[in-house]
Amino acid sequence: MLLNASGCLDALVAPEVARSLDAFVTKTVTPLPRGGNAPVRIAETEVGMLNSIGLANPGRDRFLAEALPRLRELGVPLWVSVGGFTAAEYAETCALLEDVTIELNLSCPNVDEAPESAAEIVAACRAATGQLLYAKLSPASRDVAETARAVEDAGADGLSLVNTIRGLALDERTLRPHLGTAVGGLSGPALRPIALAAVWASYRATSLPIVGMGGVAAGRDALDLIAAGATHVALGTVLFADPEAPARIRRELAAEAAVRGIADPTDARGIAHAAPRSLDERSRVEGEKALELTRNLPLDPQDSGVSIPRRGDEDARAGAGSIARPAHGRP
């Protein structure tokens, strides 16, 4: 499934782009209206984009009364991104939502965080709603796999990985911070390997479906996330520059998978975790073959007068050594 990352697409302004996705994810909704952070809010860098929007939104009441009914008219499944500054605020909003998937924004780098842990917030929301709950986690977590396990135990139905990570850009002339808040959330190509690592670790740590996001600009990027363990892929920064990205990336993803002999890209999920045939295993196989060839031959020719076939004394010594230890000299 192909989605947008929250905050990277206004479906009411660009409905056709939203309809080209398998589901649309809203901007984060908070209980009260928020004007967002002071400008400047966007800064381009050589490796991606910094933003410090600050969860600007009309608030929960207006969203439910005005925006949500219009979004339902799009005819695509809706995911509502929910934010708050306490676990109770998250839970109150979740309790009011119906027929949507809820993505809990637990990791916005541009606002103060709730005092409760991610798992505590998920547990509060789980008690308040029966809707699907996806926990959106930060790549800056000390141990994202540990956090993923904790939210799974608390009742999360899935993971969204990852949110942006804090970065700083300086004005070329003044050498002062470009953003009004100095630091902001970095998205784009630089986030891609960080997202891959988080998806990789969380896939190994949990059984939850994962939405992988971070720096996806081409089909190969999407395939990498799926191979690392993502069930779905979300597009972020690329949508600002290329509204045709969803259709293009679908085509490229199918082509990238086909080149590797994979008919359905979803079949590539987790393939990066498949154990390769290691050097140690090859050494074992080579050793077994050598033993099979010499099974009925005495190791000491003097014992029976039978000579072991050899090309020369040095080759014989090398051959005996290969039987005594695995190839590559590994103990």
| Strands 24-25 and 158-161, bridge-based pairing | unpaired
| Nearest-angstrom CA–CA distance, 236 and 215 | 7
| Nearest-angstrom CA–CA distance, 312 and 36 | 81
Whether 8 is catalytic is no
Residues 305-324, buried b or exposed e (16+ Cβ, 10 A)? eeeeeeeeeeeeeebeeeee
> Which member of 8, 94, 108, 125 is catalytic?
108
Task: Identify whether the C-beta of residue 169 lies closer than 8 Å to the C-beta of residue 43.
Answer: yes
Task: Identify whether the C-beta of residue 87 lies closer than 8 Å to the C-beta of residue 120.
Answer: yes
Q: Is 112 left (phi over 0), alpha (psi -120 to 50) or beta?
A: beta
What one-letter code names the amino acid at 319? G
The backbone torsions φ and ψ at residue 135, rounded to the nearest 5 degrees and listed phi first, read -100, 120
Angle at 68 between CA 64 and CA 72, to 5 degrees: 150
C-alpha to C-alpha distances, 10 to 14, 56, 71, 301, nearest whole angstrom: 6, 13, 10, 82
For residue 27, give the DSSP letter.
Answer: P
Active site residues: 108
